[in-house]
Amino acid sequence: MREYDYIIIGSGIAGLYDALLAQELGSVLIITKGSIHECNTRHAQGGIAAAIGSLDSPELHFEDTIAAGAGLCDPEAVRILTREAADRIADLVKFGVPFDTVDGEIALAREAAHSVPRILHAGGDATGERIEVTLSNAARSSSRITILEYCLAIEILVLEDGVYGVAALDLHSGSIERFGCRFVILATGGVGRLFKITTNPEIATGDGIALAYKAGAEIVDMEFVQFHPTALRLPGVPLFLISEAVRGEGGILRNAEGERFMLNYSPDGDLAPRDIVARSIVAEMERTETDRVYLDVTHLPASIVSARFPQIYRFCFDHGLDITSSMIPVVPAAHYVMGGVRTNYWGETNIAGLFASGEVSCTGVHGANRLASNSLLEVLVFSKRIVDRSREEVNAATTAEREASALPERAVDSGNCPSLDLIALESLLWENVGIVRSADRLREAANILAVWEEELRRPTDRPSYELANMVLVGRLLAEAALAREESRGAHFRSDSPEPSDAWLRHIVFRKKD
């Protein structure tokens, strides 16, 4: 096997930032199943939250994050996140990320559930793209970082004392190659493609979570999937995220009859947390018997709208919609998973040498509902801590969760089960494990997913590996949502609509030995 010190799976901001830090300590291999530019980071419009303003503080940022997490944030993880934020922003500035400025200082905007303006942007609503391009250019120019594009990681190689490498499928030749290493860092992003309506690109198929589970890592909080309230809905046009910052700038949600409705659902109105806004939109669409609502910015100066949201303005305009004079048709869409591979405060899993960074991980900072724009910050803070930990040569596993359980056994009855394909899977998850859930629909989804998992053929190419990963991750999601018999944060059960103190705990899955 070709040997490296670090193997990083994924080429978004998490993978690139880890690679640029780790290259100072050893050789680095980045494995990515598409091109280096195919990642969720490029689609991040909202920006990065950090308490760097004169009216802000890490303590205030901590309080906002805890409040959004609905009782399930890890307070120490949140303290780390908010305390180390300013230093990580300084790192990006050193790498050359061009943050927007006003009078020579970094400009700060406000988003829902933040008590003060603390959101940094680059290129208006092009923040993720600007960061990704800056970091990928730096990684490409490094002689200590090897990048393998169109190479799909299919197995984390593990012995009793920890990881020793990764098996990967060359998507051009079809050959399988094994690479040895001291450390594996999962940075594969989220699971949005499990759902029929999603803001995520095609690469977000939950690969890292599936790899980690099959290797014996703990998976936690999978029931908490955040649905972004506002994705563009135009006939024949790909779904496109309309940033929460649009509402932060003064955008107003209106129903099909032109009525402002959010104050009927929350005293925070249009700046209510995402889960409340998403469910309110669903309720309003059902009440008015329509398939969309509208986001209105026509009352704002046209020059501010086009300058503040250049990507959104240009995308809509290119598809025949001038948002400065016409309302934006929107629907909720699957956006971000708060759960994932369970890590400690240093990004370590319960498998020695295996780390996880970014959306694939669950550090404890998001709890049951992520505070807007904390995700890019989480990447920076905990990626840095991962590399710092590896510097110490600790290479030890975290303590395994005693209450972790394997996925439940389910009687496989394929009699009335639909045939498995990508469309069927996305529809099942959207309809049964989506914004509003119930025990009956969740149980039906879990049973169907168990049948599909049993009937899966051995994967041979990228589509079949991705489908197998999506079925497994779908099971983890459905089973966790079925087990949590309450509503909390982004997880809403119509048959248990209130939170319960009995559920102030985490659901953890781990494969049987």
> 231 and 239 in contact (C-beta within 8 Å)?
yes
Q: Give yes or no for residue 189 having a pLDDT over 90.
A: yes
Boundary-marking domain end, from 288, 314, 334: 334
Distance CA 12, CA 133 (A): 10
113: confidence class by pLDDT, cuts 50, 70, 90: confident
Counting residues of the chain whose pLDDT is more than 90, the rounded percentage is 86
Per the DSSP assignment, residues forming a β-bridge with 30 are 8, 147
Boundary-marking domain end, from 289, 313, 334: 334
510: confidence class by pLDDT, cuts 50, 70, 90: very high
Q: Give yes or no for residue 503 having a pLDDT over 80.
A: yes
Q: Which of 34-43, 94-103, 214-223 has the lowest mean pLDDT?
A: 34-43
Distance CA 28, CA 139 (A): 10
In a domain, 326, yes or no: yes
Question: For residue 321, how many other CB atoms are within 10 A of its CB?
Answer: 18
Distance CA 221, CA 362 (A): 8
**Average of pLDDT values for 76-94?**
96
Distance CA 219, CA 212 (A): 8
In a domain, 261, yes or no: yes
In a domain, 104, yes or no: no
Q: What is the CATH number of the domain that holds 444?
A: 1.20.58.100
Q: What is the pLDDT of residues 418-457, one digit of tens each?
A: 999 999 999 999 999 999 999 999 999 999 999 999 999 9
Distance CA 371, CA 285 (A): 25
Report angle CA 349, 480, 503 to the nearest 5 degrees.
95
Indicate the average pLDDT of the chain: 94
In a domain, 191, yes or no: no
In a domain, 71, yes or no: no
In a domain, 312, yes or no: yes
43: confidence class by pLDDT, cuts 50, 70, 90: low
DSSP letters along 375-394, please?
A: HHHHHHHHHHHHHHHHHTT-
Q: Give yes or no for residue 245 having a pLDDT over 90.
A: no
Distance CA 71, CA 467 (A): 34
Q: Give yes or no for residue 294 having a pLDDT over 70.
A: yes
Can you give the pLDDT at residue 380?
95
Question: For residue 95, how many other CB atoms are within 10 A of its CB?
Answer: 15
The pair phi, psi for residue 489, each rounded to 5°, is: 55, -125
Strand order from edge to edge, sheet including 240-241? 240-241, 225-232, 328-337, 293-296, 252-254
CB-based contacts of 157: which residues, under 8 Å, 6+ apart?
163, 164, 165, 166, 167, 178
Can you give the pLDDT at residue 146?
97
Per the DSSP assignment, residues forming a β-bridge with 3 are 180
Q: Which of 42, 254, 274, 370 is catalytic?
A: 274
Q: Which of 100-114, 203-217, 281-295 has the lowest mean pLDDT?
A: 100-114
Q: What is the CATH number of the domain that holds 296?
A: 3.90.700.10
Pinpoint the alpha helices (H) of 141-238.
207-215
Can you give the pLDDT at residue 397?
62
Q: Give yes or no for residue 414 having a pLDDT over 80.
A: no
Return the DSSP state at 419: P
**Average of pLDDT values for 231-241?**
93
In a domain, 272, yes or no: yes
Boundary-marking domain end, from 305, 334, 363: 334
Of residues 227 and 394, the one with the higher pLDDT is: 227
Distance CA 475, CA 494 (A): 20
Return the DSSP state at 368: T
Q: Give yes or no for residue 398 having a pLDDT over 70.
A: no
394: confidence class by pLDDT, cuts 50, 70, 90: low
Q: Give yes or no for residue 405 having a pLDDT over 60.
A: yes
**Residue whose tokens read 């991980």:** 361
Can you give the pLDDT at residue 21?
96
Distance CA 509, CA 408 (A): 10
Q: Which of 42-46, 153-157, 194-198, 414-418 has the lowest mean pLDDT?
A: 42-46
Q: What is the pLDDT of residues 327-349, one digit of tens each?
A: 999 999 999 999 999 999 999 99
Encoded tokens for 222? 């999978």
**Average of pLDDT values for 304-315?**
94
Q: Is 274 a catalytic residue?
A: yes
Amino acid at 372: A
In a domain, 56, yes or no: no
Q: Which domain holds residue 429?
A: 422-509
**Average of pLDDT values for 4-20?**
96
Number of structural domains found in the chain: 2
Return the DSSP state at 398: P
Can you give the pLDDT at residue 163?
97
Return the DSSP state at 434: S
Classify burial at 400, counting beta carbons within 10 Å of its beta carbon; exposed 0-12, middle 13-18, buried 19 or more: middle
**Average of pLDDT values for 55-70?**
96
Distance CA 502, CA 494 (A): 18
- Give, rounded to a whole angstrom, the gap between the first and last alpha carbons of the chain: 26
Q: Of 456, 424, 235, which Cα lies nearest the Cα of 331?
A: 235
Counting residues of the chain whose pLDDT is more than 70, the rounded percentage is 96
> 265 and 274 in contact (C-beta within 8 Å)?
no
**Residue whose tokens read 């940075």:** 187
402: confidence class by pLDDT, cuts 50, 70, 90: low
Question: For residue 22, how many other CB atoms are within 10 A of its CB?
Answer: 24
Q: Give yes or no for residue 252 having a pLDDT over 60.
A: yes
